[in-house]
């Protein structure tokens, strides 16, 4: 197939901090005519009409009204990852542009990271490693202890695809599992993972040794965990966030950690990312922060690319779109 017959897809750039990976670009170029933002801006009039899809990697390129107005033949935006809080869905819909994400492919990696953070925090893994390699360490003290994960109570807030996979994993550690969700899951699903529904979030917060946030970011979940919720938690409890930074009132979290209202936190997500270098969360000993790596594995990123490609191809062919995000 000649290059000009391949459908034109807009991407931000290839390589660098946030660009499409070089090896992914090779795959995409076999199927699409890739146009970078730089190329587009240099030749807006000609290229604008040709672009039929946007391949959005790491939330780039940023889509605003101006861009939508200059892409009259845009049919679909494929966004990497499951979160779509960075997209204005109403705006896109008003231009007749469809949206897809990659909800299922990220679910096992994200659940795995939730488990990794819970175990690392509970067993003080990062602190322990620092002690093991520190030039000042002469012996390992006997009174240095963590807390057990096996047999403890895990409260999952948000029992969607990812939350449920967390429950499947936690069950193998013989954890007692509580969950809070917009909708209760059916009895078989609950029984399969031994999870108990808490209609009131307060009940979950008061009983859990570990509280894990696995919700989408929506206006309803914005600052879901604030001062009140943190105070309901046990002083021995650990908060784990693998959803979005804005689900937590960060200032309230800092205060709660400093005052030992809760024991520790483990955050894959913050607001913003990265945090400013003088932010108090960076200095607290009882906090583990990871750089938003919930889906950061080689295999999953390949599968994301494949999923997004399928969605674009279906969207351009007028076929049902896998992983379409509906308003």
> Which residues 265-284 are close enough to bind another protein by CB under 8 A?
273-275, 277, 282
Q: Is 228 a catalytic residue?
A: no
Which residue's CB is nearer to another protein, number 298 or number 326? Answer: 298
Q: Is 112 in the site for another protein (CB under 8 A)?
A: yes
Q: Are strands 210-213 and 238-241 parallel, antiparallel or unpaired?
A: parallel
Whose tokens are 């670009």? That residue is 25
Q: How far is CA 272 from CA 182, 195, 217, 252, 316, in A?
A: 26, 33, 14, 16, 34
Q: Is 86 a catalytic residue?
A: no
CA 291 to chain centre: 11
What 3-state DSSP class applies to 212?
Answer: strand
Q: Is 304 in the site for another protein (CB under 8 A)?
A: no
Q: Smallest distance, Å, CB 5 to another protein? A: 30
> Which residues 126-165 are close enough to bind another protein by CB under 8 A?
126, 128-129, 131-133, 135, 137-151
Among 95, 104, 173, 197, binds another protein (CB under 8 A): 173
Q: Is 101 in the site for another protein (CB under 8 A)?
A: no
Tell me the site size for another protein, rule CB under 8 A. 64
For residues 48 to 87, the per-residue mask of contacts with another protein, x marking binding by CB under 8 A and - elsewhere, is ---------xx-----------------------------
Q: 254 near 276, Cβ under 8 Å?
A: no
Query: CA-to-CA distance for 9 and 22, rounded, in angstroms?
Result: 16
Terminal-residue alpha carbon distance, the chain? 36
Residue 308's φ and ψ, nearest 5 degrees, are: -65, -40
Query: CA-to-CA distance for 291 and 20, rounded, in angstroms?
Result: 18
Q: Is 297 in the site for another protein (CB under 8 A)?
A: yes
Which positions are catalytic?
Answer: 244, 273, 292
**Where does this chain bind another protein (CB under 8 A)?**
17-19, 21, 57-58, 108-109, 111-113, 115-117, 119-120, 123-126, 128-129, 131-133, 135, 137-151, 168-169, 171-174, 273-275, 277, 282, 288-293, 296-301
């Amino acid at each position: 197939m000649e290059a000009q017959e391949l459908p034109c897809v807009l991407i931000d750039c290839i390589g660098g901090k946030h660009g499409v990976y070089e090896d992914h670009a090779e795959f995409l170029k076999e199927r699409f005519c890739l146009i970078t933002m730089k190329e587009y801006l240099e030749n807006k009039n000609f290229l604008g009409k040709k672009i039929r899809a946007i391949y959005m990697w790491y939330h780039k390129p940023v889509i605003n009204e101006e861009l939508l107005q200059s892409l009259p033949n845009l049919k679909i935006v494929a966004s990497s990852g499951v979160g779509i809080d960075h997209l204005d869905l109403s705006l896109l819909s008003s231009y007749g542009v469809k949206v897809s994400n990659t909800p299922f492919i990220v679910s096992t990696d994200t659940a795995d990271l939730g488990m990794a953070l819970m175990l690392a925090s509970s067993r003080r893994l990062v602190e322990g490693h620092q002690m093991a390699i520190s030039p000042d360490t002469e012996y390992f003290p006997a009174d240095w202890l963590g807390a057990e994960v096996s047999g403890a109570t895990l409260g999952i807030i948000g029992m969607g695809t990812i939350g449920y996979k967390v429950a499947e994993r936690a069950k193998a550690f013989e954890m007692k599992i509580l969950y809070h969700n917009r909708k209760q899951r059916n009895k078989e699903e609950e029984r399969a993972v031994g999870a108990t529904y808490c209609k009131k979030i307060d009940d979950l917060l008061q009983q859990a040794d570990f509280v894990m946030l696995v919700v989408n970011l929506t206006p309803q979940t914005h600052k879901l965990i604030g001062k009140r919720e943190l105070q309901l938690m046990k002083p021995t409890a650990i908060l784990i966030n693998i959803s979005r930074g804005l689900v937590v009132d960060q200032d309230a979290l800092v205060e709660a950690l400093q005052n030992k209202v809760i024991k520790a936190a483990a955050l894959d997500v913050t607001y913003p990312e990265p945090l400013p270098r003088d932010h108090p969360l960076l200095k607290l000993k009882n906090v583990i922060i990871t750089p938003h790596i919930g889906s950061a594995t080689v295999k999953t990123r390949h599968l994301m690319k494949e999923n997004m490609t399928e969605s674009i191809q279906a969207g351009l062919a007028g076929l049902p779109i896998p992983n379409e995000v509906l308003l």
